[in-house]
Structure 1
Amino acid sequence: MPNTNPPPTPSPSPPSPSQDERRARIALTRILEPGDDNTGRWLRTYGATGLFHHLTHEDSALPGVTPQRLAGLRNRATTTHPDTDLQAADTAGARFLIPGDPEWPGQLRDLGDTQPVGLWVRGNADLRIWALRSVALVGARACTEYGAHMAAKIATGLAEHGWVVVSGGAYGIDGAAHRAALAAGGATAAILANGVDTAYPRGHTGLLQRIAEQGLLLAELPPGAHPTAYRFIQRNRIIAALTRGTLVIEAAHRSGALVTARNATRLGRHTMGVPGPATSSQSAGVHQLLRGEATLVTDAAEVIELIGEMGQLAPEHRGPVIPRDLLNPLAARVLAALPAGRPVPVAGIATDAATTTDDTVAGLYELQSLGFVERHGDNWKLTRQSTRTDFPRREVKPEDT
């Protein structure tokens, strides 16, 4: 019988942002500082075009701001030129995304009133798709060789398993993670505290260019904007919100990487840390996290177990299997009862093995066939091969001889 039910009506797509809103948000990226929840409330209350109107008309009032601060924002508003910024972005190969665009990552809504006004994005990949399968690797700029090695090792493993490695483009752990992901042929994104057309730090000009060509560069700030200490700190909230988890590899007690990790915890994301030497000040902040909300990880598989799909378990880490591990319980007890040194009688071995003489003899002959012991008349002794292991041995007692 044919199906007479009408096809389901598709859900209407959200309306695309208007050009007026887009232009207003471009202007606001020059006027507002990132991460200010007060200006975020204005944006939520008045909308982008309404807020821009308030900031460009002196007869409009805005709540929660001093007259001096409002005057400073209005002074910035007089210098905005959205068309110029769009032209600069186009020259750099960048685009401007705002909420409502198909490429806008929905998880940024978790930031509430500190959600970015918009994002300048440089690179060909789809940001929304990449963000769904991304993990942040952050840490010390002045990292140790150990920290750089761990960052590269884990970033390589993540990239090989199809995860996007997200970091801040800085020296140290950030750079090691980006380079390793690129070298593995994987995906990486750098979130900057300056314009996407500006290379900072200067020593990473080549690296940032490679990321722009093979991955993504992101920034809240418009083209040509310079970084400040405040902007670095606020940038970290986007790293935390955009990704499924944040991994810290080396961080001192006062570290921007810890800010990222705490943002991740507050947003309900996974927070992870790689332990370092207990004596290393560069790992002191990580150890503090591990005593609290963070999970200890040592490789990419353990990261994926936390942030990946159900059932993606990391392999169990075990030491190498040695022949002694394969012995049956009786033979293992007899072997453990044999002292290092001179041959000993069966009776002494049976006493220390807490078993009968007959069972001890059976165990000794099994051990002899496997090369663990050798017979010397009525006595038994460990072979030279067996005594080379680090298995603990009891000392020979007078009554054994």
Structure 2
Amino acid sequence: MSAGTAGAERLARAALTGIVEPGDEAGGRWLRDHGPVELLRRLTAAAPGPDEALAGASEKRLAGYRNRASAVDPARYLAAADAVGARLVCPGDGEWPSQLDDLGDARPVGLWVRGAPNLRMWALRSVAVVGARACTPYGAHMAASLGAGLAERGWVVVSGAAYGVDGAAHRGVLGAGGATVAVLACGVDVNYPRGHAELISRVAEQGLVLGELPPGSHPTPSRFVLRNRVIAALTRGTVVVEAEYRSGSLVTARGAQRLGRFTMGVPGPVTSGLSAGVHELLRGEAVLVTDAAEIVELVGGIGDLAPARRGPVLPRDLLDPVTARVLEALPGRTAADTRSVAREAGTTGDEALARLYELHSLGFVERHGDGWQLARGAARGVPPRRGGA
């Protein structure tokens, strides 16, 4: 491919990002069949001939495409991108994340990327953290904690820069000095939501901000939903922190499932409607996670294991099996003689007596005449402290 052809294709793709809506599979088929330069020519032709028809679209729909095509100015898009330090990354580029090709004809025409790091390299070790916009303090805390924990383990955190869980995840990463990517449903030069203008600028300085729409484009409800497929495809797995039954975060998670990516959920109170969608995911194919170590254990390589989870080790846990049986043979509130203890423990009288003296020295039992009784606290596995309160 010559440099001139490559330049023409890049210019055509820049134009098509302003014509073909994100996730438009008909546009994706035309792009696959005809290539970007020819597709743009057909959409901008003043009087297209019968041999220039585009399959699967009515005249009314084609008129809509052509009306939009008449207003695009790819040179202006590229200049606006350059003004904010952004670039257009296209399929076939060295920086293009090949996992986006899993979307088939719904693959982005191209991605406008703002920020210095290499998108392809970052995407290879990335996890999405998404969730409710109107999250609870618990949800915000968990998102920030997961973001920071993943960043400390060298993982890139991808989210949508929205209020709530998304913003908390980005802030957790930024606070830890880590790597984060914001995928927008608008142009990379548009700060949306406006309240996150400073956050988006910080992400662009420390990480990457990207989107499918050309500079200057504004979000719509459908674009938010379609943006989620990019988050799902770009990453190794998606973690949902708080989501109602009808949540865009669940769209991301289910998209990840369809693409064969890992899907995870952070549980919350069963009485919280904001956790109901997450719990529904967990009843299906999603994996329950509670911290960054458990996420990395799932999406990482061999050896990335989360630490074993167990309760505290009690002094009683350290007793050998025979001594533990003798201790268990003592009644809870009354004293017992050595013979009855031996019978309950399944051992001889001499063995039981030796073990009782051992337990007495450790503070587990007390002697009352010829009888033996549990010391206070021993039933919980913790002998009372000696020599003080």
- State the TM-score, normalized to the length of structure 1: 0.91
**SS at structure 2 position matched to 1:128:** helix
The residue number in structure 2 matching 1:109 is 101
The residue number in structure 1 matching 2:307 is 315
**SS at structure 2 position matched to 1:246:** strand
Q: Which amino acid aligns with 2:152?
A: E
Structure 1 CA distance for aligned equivalents of residues 36 and 296 of structure 2:
39
Q: Which residue of 208, 222, 230 maps to 1:230?
A: 222
Find out whether 1:49 has 2:37 as its counterpart: yes
Find out whether 1:344 has 2:336 as its counterpart: yes
Paired residues of 1:27 and 1:81 also in contact (CA < 8 A): yes
Structure 2 CA distance for aligned equivalents of residues 169 and 348 of structure 1:
69
- What do the CA deviations read for 1:7-64 (whole angstroms, capped 9, x no partner)? xxxxxxx877611111111111111110011110000001001110111124232111
**SS at structure 1 position matched to 2:189:** coil
Q: Which amino acid aligns with 1:237?
A: R
Find out whether 1:183 has 2:209 as its counterpart: no
Structure 2 CA distance for aligned equivalents of residues 207 and 349 of structure 1:
68
Paired residues of 1:15 and 1:100 also in contact (CA < 8 A): no
Structure 1 unpaired stretches of 5+: 1-13, 392-401
The residue number in structure 2 matching 1:5 is none
Paired residues of 1:334 and 1:360 also in contact (CA < 8 A): yes
**SS at structure 2 position matched to 1:217:** strand
**SS at structure 1 position matched to 2:17:** helix
Paired residues of 2:315 and 2:381 also in contact (CA < 8 A): no
Q: 1:334 to 1:147 in 2, by over 3 A?
A: same
Structure 1 CA distance for aligned equivalents of residues 317 and 229 of structure 2:
50
149-158 or 70-79, larger mean C-alpha shift:
149-158
Q: Which residue of 13, 18, 37 maps to 2:25?
A: 37
The residue number in structure 2 matching 1:75 is 67
Structure 2 CA distance for aligned equivalents of residues 139 and 385 of structure 1:
45
- What do the CA deviations read for 1:107-127 (whole angstroms, capped 9, x no partner)? 111111111001000101110
**SS at structure 1 position matched to 2:373:** strand
**SS at structure 2 position matched to 1:18:** helix
- What do the CA deviations read for 1:303-337 (whole angstroms, capped 9, x no partner)? 11111111211111111111000001111112122
Q: Which residue of 115, 124, 129 maps to 2:121?
A: 129
Find out whether 1:62 has 2:54 as its counterpart: yes
The structural deviation recorded for 1:349 is 2.6
Paired residues of 1:120 and 1:218 also in contact (CA < 8 A): yes
- What do the CA deviations read for 1:122-171 (whole angstroms, capped 9, x no partner)? 10111011001111111111111221121111111110011000000011
The residue number in structure 1 matching 2:363 is 371
Structure 1 CA distance for aligned equivalents of residues 345 and 379 of structure 2:
18
**SS at structure 2 position matched to 1:380:** strand
The structural deviation recorded for 1:342 is 3.5
The residue number in structure 1 matching 2:153 is 161
Structure 1 vs Structure 2: percent identity of aligned residues?
63
Paired residues of 2:315 and 2:382 also in contact (CA < 8 A): no
Q: Which residue of 355, 358, 366 maps to 2:350?
A: 358
The structural deviation recorded for 1:242 is 0.7
Structure 2 CA distance for aligned equivalents of residues 331 and 15 of structure 1:
82
Structure 1 CA distance for aligned equivalents of residues 136 and 330 of structure 2:
47
Q: Which amino acid aligns with 1:31?
A: I
Structure 2 CA distance for aligned equivalents of residues 93 and 352 of structure 1:
79
**SS at structure 2 position matched to 1:137:** strand
Q: Which residue of 176, 184, 187 maps to 1:192?
A: 184
Matches within 5 A, 1:259-274: 259-274=251-266
Paired residues of 2:317 and 2:381 also in contact (CA < 8 A): no
The residue number in structure 2 matching 1:28 is 16
**SS at structure 2 position matched to 1:30:** coil
Q: Which residue of 268, 274, 289 maps to 1:276?
A: 268
Matches within 5 A, 1:9-20: 18-20=6-8
Q: Which amino acid aligns with 1:162?
A: G
- State the TM-score, normalized to the length of structure 2: 0.94
The structural deviation recorded for 1:356 is 3.2
Structure 2 unpaired stretches of 5+: 384-389
Structure 1 CA distance for aligned equivalents of residues 163 and 11 of structure 2:
34
Structure 2 CA distance for aligned equivalents of residues 292 and 390 of structure 1:
41
Paired residues of 1:169 and 1:208 also in contact (CA < 8 A): yes
Paired residues of 1:30 and 1:222 also in contact (CA < 8 A): yes
Find out whether 1:291 has 2:283 as its counterpart: yes
The residue number in structure 1 matching 2:387 is none
